[in-house]
Structure 1
Amino acid sequence: MKRDLDKATIVIKSLLNKCEKSLQKLTNGTSQHTLLINRIEALKIALTLIEKEILNKTTNS
């Protein structure tokens, strides 16, 4: 389970990085820009939750 969470962390960090780079190419106020901002926030939340779960698994082992 922890290994799966570690893999998910790597994938989400990569996707987050790609989204942040793409955001620079979009015009403020467009629907694409707003959608990407929302996706970035969702990815950050997901990453935080996964990292908390990894920490819980580490301290409980």
Structure 2
Amino acid sequence: MDYRREDLTEAKRQIESTLHKLRETVKTLEAKEKPDRYKSQITLAKRRIAAFEIAIYLIEKELEGSVQRS
């Protein structure tokens, strides 16, 4: 699929913002007095972080490719 460069750049920006919030959430939950109570939430957040990191990587690859195609 072809996406406009601006759309990819905005998507990357939004994902990076969400990633920042997720990382802060993990820090907060892990710092709680009994982090084991939040184990499933921490696991879910970490899995989402990994997924968003992959998405950013793929967006960056697409952006690099669009520069080469131009």
Calculate the TM-score normalised by the size of structure 2: 0.82
Q: Distance in 1 between matches of 2:25 and 2:67?
A: 34
Consecutive unaligned residues in structure 2, runs of 5 or more = 30-34
List runs of 5+ in structure 1 lacking aligned partners: none
Partner in structure 2 of residue 17 of structure 1: 20
Runs of 4+ aligned structure 1 residues displaced above 6 Å come to none
Larger Rg: 2
Could you tell me the percent identity over the aligned residues? Answer: 38
Aligned Cα root-mean-square deviation (Å): 1.2
Give the number of aligned pairs.
61
SS at match of 2:28: coil
